[in-house]
Amino acid sequence: MTATPQEIIRSSQWHHLSVEEVTRHLDTNLETGLTSAVAAKKRERFGANELKSKPGKSPLLRFLLQFNQPLLYILLIAGAIKAILGQWVNAGVIWGVTLINAIIGFVQESKAESAICLWQQASLIAALASSVQTNATIIRNGQKVQVPSTELVPGDVVILASGDKVPADLRLVQARNLQVNESALTGESIAIEKNTQPLNLDVPLAERTNMAYAGSFVTFGTGKGIVVAIGDATETGRISQLMEEGTSLKTPLTRKFDKFSRTLLYIILGIAALMFAVGLGYGYSWTEMFEAAIAFAVSAIPEGLPAVVTVTLAIGVSRMARRHAIVRKLPAVETLGSATVICSDKTGTLTENQMTVQAIYAGGQRYTVTGVGYAPQGQILLDKKPVNWNHSSALEECLKAGLLCNDSHLEKTVTFPKFSQAHPGNFHL
């Protein structure tokens, strides 16, 4: 029995299938690609090729979560009992204490979040989403066209060239000296040489040489691939989903605080119950003893303790933010104080993926090259002076060899004049 494309997508079996099987499952053609009508239907079915993040907690929900503390439960219950007995002044005082505590905690957590909002705007999920957005060259209606990566659908035939960013997960069907840098996904800094041969089903992701994954870069050669997964169904999308499935943070401080709160709560309730029973034994009315027990419980509960802990953690987060350290959860700052060793591997370096020639050794001479990135600016210097090409035949031959051995090209774009708001009389390109 033949598996459906949905079953294959879920089980990630594309690297195990031959090119013919992939084209048959996705109902596409390697020469003409998809038609516009078929692509429109698939876009309605699969959605846009972009990573979707869950909306954050609303301010109302974050405010209500301030009451989710064992020490405050009894205050809320005591206030409700006072209201039932008709003692609205006492009920208002008790509820006012819990409300003030919640407001303090909410304000302090909001300040902590605003202290690192500039860093959270460049959060990992947003970075992952931007890493897969690009323009893609595809075959649509038998024509080679360039479209935004968000418009890709499973079955589209994508053409890859050196310098391109892979717009979606692709099953390669053609590879000519194709090498892809997948360091963002696998952590391996060396570009992987690709081919089109089917692989065993149990081959790990880093060794699937017939696949190209969204967000990776083509460093050399050309190729062609069929889109097999888009958006959250890609391997990069799976990473963003795993990040959003994070469980609630439990640190030594929060565990000790919860344990202390429950122990104190049990002690207070026990003493209040004992006081109520002893008072009844001495002949007091149950109403008088109940009010006394409630008053004792309310006075014994350290309602300011949660606020003090929250304020202390918020101050720590703000100080870390001023030192350019991201702390997304308040309790996490406490664990930093008990850390003694921080380990990181060799893949912990962030780069812009823009390799630039800095020096050339040719004809027994060492030349210095200025300029960075892809900007067509810079000079070739010898002893800090511009090169005299009449006496640099070896350098000229070296540059010719480098030119002929790569397929890169430079595209220049024209920017229209833009008037400056600060100086209306000036404009710049």
Catalytically active residues are 345
Q: Which two tokens stand for residue 32?
A: 């003409």
Q: Which residue has the tokens 């990566």?
A: 149
Q: Is 351 exposed, middle or buried (0-12, 13-18, 19+ CB in 10 A)?
A: exposed
**Do the beta carbons of residue 208 and residue 269 sit within 8 Å?**
no
b/e 374-394 (16+ beta carbons within 10 angstroms → b): eeeeeebebeeeebeeeebee
CA quadruple 68, 69, 75, 77: dihedral, nearest 10:
50
Q: Which residue has the tokens 């969204």?
A: 214
Name beta bridge partners: 158: 138, 225
Nearest-angstrom CA–CA distance, 228 and 230? 7
Residue 258 CB neighbours (<10 A): 13
**Do the beta carbons of residue 112 and residue 69 sit within 8 Å?**
no
**Do the beta carbons of residue 227 and residue 156 sit within 8 Å?**
yes
CA distances from 286 to 268, 271, 281, 324, 375 (A): 19, 16, 10, 59, 85
Q: Is 214 exposed, middle or buried (0-12, 13-18, 19+ CB in 10 A)?
A: buried
Query: Residue 138: which residues within 8 A CB-CB, separation 6 or more?
Result: 33, 144, 145, 146, 147, 152, 156, 157, 158, 159
**Do the beta carbons of residue 14 and residue 8 sit within 8 Å?**
yes
- DSSP for 305-331, written as a single string: HHHHHHHHHHHHHHHHHHTT----STT
Question: What is the separation of C-alpha 356 from the centre of its chain, rounded to a whole number of angstroms?
Answer: 28
Q: Is 420 exposed, middle or buried (0-12, 13-18, 19+ CB in 10 A)?
A: exposed
The closest of 26, 27, 2, 37 to 230, measured between CA atoms, is: 26
